[in-house]
Amino acid sequence: MRKLLVYLKGYKKETVFAPLFKMLEATFELFVPLVMAAIIDRGIGQADTGYVLKMGGILVALGLIGLLCSITAQYFAAKAAVGFSTGLKHALFDHIQHLSFTEIDTLGTSTLITRMTSDVNQVQNGVNMVLRLFLRSPFIVFGAMVMAFTIDVKAALIFAVTIPLLAVVVFGIMALTMPMYKKVQAGLDAVLSATRENLTGARVIRAFHKEEEEIGRFEEKNEFLTHLQLVVGKISALTNPVTYIIINAATIFLLYTGAVRVDNGSITQGEVVALVNYMSQILVELIKLANLIITITKALACANRIEAVFEVKSSMEWQTGMAGEAFRQMDQTAVVSMVSGADGLPEKERLAVEFDHVHLTYGGAGAESLSDIHIRVPKGQTVGIIGGTGSGKSSLVNMIPRFYDATAGTVRVDGRDVKSYGMEELRQKVGIVLQKAVLFRGTIRDNLLWGNGAATDEELWEALRLAQAKEFVETKEGRLDAPVAQEGRNFSGGQRQRLTIARALVAKPEILILDDSASALDYATDAALRRALKELPGETTVFIVSQRASSIQHADQIIVLEDGEMAGYGTHEELLADCEVYQEIYYSQFEKQSAVQN
């Protein structure tokens, strides 16, 4: 929790004024029993109506001043707590955005969502309650005991016994429940994960008639969470009855002791009433304190979970400033020192991408996903990548923009190790269209401008034309300003894919990666897209990942992967003659097409 308190730095004034005004309110509240005692002993005892009215006015004044102090404290506490949670959410979201795919895969989406929402809200409530009550409640408890000692020492000894006993109960329950609340939040993660999977995969679940099975899985996780919450709730619920028993027992004993001492003439009736009032104040404040401790316990458990995310550091270190420049100079020196090609230029300078004996193992995986990949891709070439499911096609292209780092070997872009680039510099060179077409809520224009925020309408339409999306965008009401629903749900799968391709083309990247991004397109549109890609200006290097042999057969080079290893590398004709894996893929697909045509 201490590490998170840095987000309260901008609210120093509020964090001082909130408890200060609460302490003022508590101070005025402590004077109330003394005023009541004076009214009973002097006003009522001596039938002095004027005195009763005067002291009654003082009680009203104390109440109004206390109310004003309380409202002021509530305002400052709320402002500090909301500001704290806002800063925390921004920092947490920024930290998550800088984590690599490896860390995000390890933590899990549902856990991150829970910590960004539920956990932060619990911590916000904790900060709010601490600023309002953490000092006020103990102050009134010990203040009431001190005031009781000023009235009568012997009667006040009951307070000295009662308060430590109550502290043992309250803090004992806190020690038991704090670890349990951590388990409750973990159970909430599991429920959220199941819910998210069911909502995102609703169509698949219904298609395979798995509703009952998924309902059962959800109920199992929900029942486990319910059990945890019931257990911790029952323990926490002991706080109020136990404190009531102790306080009421102390009140009974206090009344008995007070009656005896009034009969002896040691104290007055008004002072007994004041002592009982102080005991009642202690009861109320301890109940508040018990609830506060429950809230703090939850907040601390959630704060620890949030801190755990902050402690996860990205496995990737990006070069910036002078460090990046030093790496760049080193790479350029290495390039120039290489053996020159036939045209007199250093061979490395003519390469767009190079995989130098690259290996990749995902975190927690038992085996390598890619093994000894060695490829050189000259600038301006179109490279096709094909292979069976799980062969490592996406893993291969994901290392070019450095979504994942090679566990061995080196990936180079323009002759430089990708690790020597700054993030912005590398990502400006590489445009990638991922397997899952993701669009964001807004308009078509908003989504396309992700590629280049300064792009003109002409550039957007040209990108749409190349991506074979111009025709259907022109039919939309508003055209470029046509609305896009969350995840592009108001577009078909093929339309979403073409819009994401257009978004990548708007950036005019030097390297364009299409990771199975035309799988929803028909063969005619796919062929038109491939023809359009040949019109790209400059020496744009294109990587096409596909399950279709027809999509990559006209590429300059084709990479065939099988179980993370290169099964073949060459042109369509070369692979068709020499590569058994490619032959199997190609002939199986074209035999099916022939059968359909016949």
Q: What per-residue string of b and e applies to 527-564 under the rule 16 or more CB within 10 Å gives b?
A: bebbeebeebeeebbbbbbbebbebbbbbebbbbbbbb
Prediction pTM value: 0.67
> Which domains are delineated in the chain?
2-311 (1.20.1560.10), 321-597 (3.40.50.300)
Give CA–CA dist 53/47, Å, rounded. 12
Name the residue type at position 270: G
Q: Print the SS3 string covering 313-342.
A: CCCCCCCCHHHHHHHHHHHHHHHHCCCECC
Residue 68's pLDDT is 92
Lowest mean pLDDT among 223-232, 245-254, 279-288, 538-547: 279-288
Which tokens belong to 405? 């780092």
Residue 76's pLDDT is 92
Q: What is the pLDDT of residues 184-216, one digit of tens each?
A: 877 887 887 788 788 878 888 888 888 888 888
Residue 331's pLDDT is 52
Q: Strand 351-360 and strand 370-378: pairing?
A: antiparallel
Evaluate if residue 540 carries a pLDDT over 80: yes
Q: How confident is the model at residue 591 (pLDDT cuts 50, 70, 90)?
A: low
> Are the CB atoms for 549 and 590 separated by under 8 Å?
yes
Q: What is the pLDDT of residues 503-534, one digit of tens each?
A: 888 888 888 888 877 776 777 887 787 788 77
Range picked from 38-47, 167-176, 222-231 for highest mean pLDDT:
222-231
Residue 364's pLDDT is 67
Residue whose tokens read 């029952």: 234
Residue 72's pLDDT is 92
Q: How confident is the model at residue 1 (pLDDT cuts 50, 70, 90)?
A: low
> Are the CB atoms for 482 and 443 separated by under 8 Å?
yes
Q: What is the pLDDT of residues 321-363, one digit of tens each?
A: 544 555 555 555 444 434 333 344 444 447 888 888 888 888 7
Residue 32's pLDDT is 82
Q: What is the pLDDT of residues 228-269, one digit of tens each?
A: 888 888 888 887 788 888 888 888 888 888 888 787 777 788
Residue 408's pLDDT is 87
Average pLDDT score over the chain: 81
Q: What is the pLDDT of residues 54-108, one digit of tens each?
A: 888 888 888 898 899 889 999 999 999 998 888 889 888 888 888 877 777 777 7
